[in-house]
Amino acid sequence: MFFKSLTVLLFVLWAGALRGQANDTAAYPTHPLAPVIIPWEPNGADYKLHTREMDSRPFPAHRIIANVYYVGTSGYSMFLITSDEGHILIDTGYASFVPLLQKNIEQLGFRFQDIKIVLLTHAHVDHCEGAARVKELTGAKLFVMEGDAEIVEMGAGGSVPPAKVDRVLHDKDEVRLGGNTLTAYFTPGHTPGSTTWLWTAQEGGGSHTVISWPH
């Protein structure tokens, strides 16, 4: 979670710097800048700590805002969006994470079997390998963006359990359940069908925009 927070902070600082330079062309660098080494990248201070074993450690499930909950591990994100009509799960992690995912959801007071829709940010093994198992246990429908749908159904070339895709999504398609409306933005690059999810959460009398993107 620290790594994700740092990534967001760096993005905000970078965006702010660009805004501040928008009307000052002289402020742009005229020569190549030294690369920035993120702590968990090769040669970074925490590189040896950022391993699959470390990132797979259990992490307390918790509410982020309104009906949006973090149900992933210490280094692999999974989000639950709840409603009285059932829940939406974004990403499943590795297949080995499914028991922990179920435990996290039930510790929050929700039924794992009430997951009705599974969404993916992208078709990499650490984000989608558990999709087939979650569908098997809950009967949930799997919605995947074009570009990644075939990869998921083929099991990523045999390295991932194949999962039946119930709906192939396209740019700006909406997914609705129990008063929640999520918009899928086609953002290929990380994978052919990488998807950024955007929706609104209501809390404290205000509306809050929530974004989950492939990383």
Domain-ending residue, one of 33, 50, 67: 50
CA distance 141 to 189: 25
Task: Output the domain CATH number for residue 156.
Answer: 3.60.15.10
d(C-alpha 165, C-alpha 171), whole Å:
17
* Structural domain for 143, as ranges: 52-212
Q: In the prediction, which pLDDT does 44 show?
A: 61
Number of domains present in the structure of the chain: 2
Shared domain check, 134 and 68: yes
Confidence category of residue 99, pLDDT binned at 50, 70, 90: very high
Q: 90 and 42 in one domain? A: no
pLDDT band for position 6 (cuts 50, 70, 90):
very low
- 46 shares its domain with 86: no
Q: What is the pLDDT of residues 60-72, one digit of tens each?
A: 999 999 999 999 9
Print burial letters for 123-152: b (CB count within 10 Å at least 16), e (below 16): bbebbbbbbbbbbebbebbbbbbbbbbebb
Whether residue 117 is found in the same domain as residue 193: yes
Residues 123 and 138 in one domain: yes
**Vertex 88: Cα angle to 178 and 128 (nearest 5):** 160
What tokens appear for 159 in the block? 């390295």
> What are 13-48's pLDDT values in tens digits?
344 444 444 444 445 556 665 655 555 556 666 556
Residues 137 and 64 in one domain: yes
In this structure, are 192 and 115 located in the same domain?
Answer: yes
Same domain, 107 and 143: yes
Terminal Cα-to-Cα distance of the chain (whole angstroms): 13
Q: If you average pLDDT over residues 87-104, what whole number do you get?
A: 98
Q: Are 43 and 56 found together in one domain?
A: no
Please check whether residues 25 and 61 belong to one and the same domain. no
CB atoms within 10 A of CB 164: 11
Q: Give per-residue pLDDT as tens, 133-150.
A: 999 999 999 999 999 999
pLDDT at position 158: 75
The predicted pLDDT at position 47 comes to: 57
Looking at the structure, tell me whether residues 150 and 160 fall in a common domain. Answer: yes
Query: Are 17 and 107 part of one and the same domain?
Result: no
- Sole residue written with tokens 């509306």: 207
